[in-house]
Amino acid sequence: AKDYELRQYETAKWVSTVIRGETQKEAMRQGFWKLFHYIQGKNEKEMKIDMTVPVTCLVKSGCTDFKISFFVPFEHQDSPPQPTDSEVFIEERKAAAIFVRSFGGFASPEKYAEEAEVLARILRNRGQPFHEDFFYTAGYDSPFKLFNRHNEVWYFKK
């Protein structure tokens, strides 16, 4: 479809942290830095790991907990170094079919929510079953990139 795509993601490991009771914007900031310290060597092997994209944020309706995640690079998927920060953890996300809507510009929590609502409406109108109680935001660019930015919202197919 021209306004969204359906992707198949394989099982993969992500390094994540959950930030509770903050705004989404503040949770993203705090979560990003916790994960950035992990890839800069705050892990049991004191290993530097390349930054990957996307950076995702799990948004659950009516919930002020946000799970921020970095994709673990392919060369570390088999055995990522364990985090030394007790609030950072490695998780394995199972293979899934995901509905994706892409958009440009600088994405705010409000813009992500707006795009998620547009995607949800399109999926409902087309009779596509999906998990409506949560979505992921996915950001692909450094804050220093000014043009041709790429952002996504993801709903998991039922």
Total domains, the chain: 1
Q: What is the pLDDT of residues 65-96, one digit of tens each?
A: 999 999 999 999 999 999 999 999 999 999 99
pLDDT band with cut points at 50, 70 and 90 for residue 28: very high
Domain that holds residue 80: 5-156
For residue 46, the SS3 value is: coil
Contacts of 152 by beta carbon, 8 Å cutoff, 6+ apart: 54, 100, 101, 102, 103, 137, 138, 140
Provide the 8-state DSSP code for 25: H
CATH code for position 129: 3.20.80.10
d(CA 151, CA 112): 8
Of 39, 61, 59, which Cα lies nearest the Cα of 50?
39
pTM above 0.85, yes or no: yes
pLDDT at 30 over 80: yes
pLDDT band with cut points at 50, 70 and 90 for residue 2: confident
Residue 65, token pair as written in the block: 């907990």
Greater pLDDT, 144 or 46: 46
- Report percent pLDDT > 70 for the chain: 100
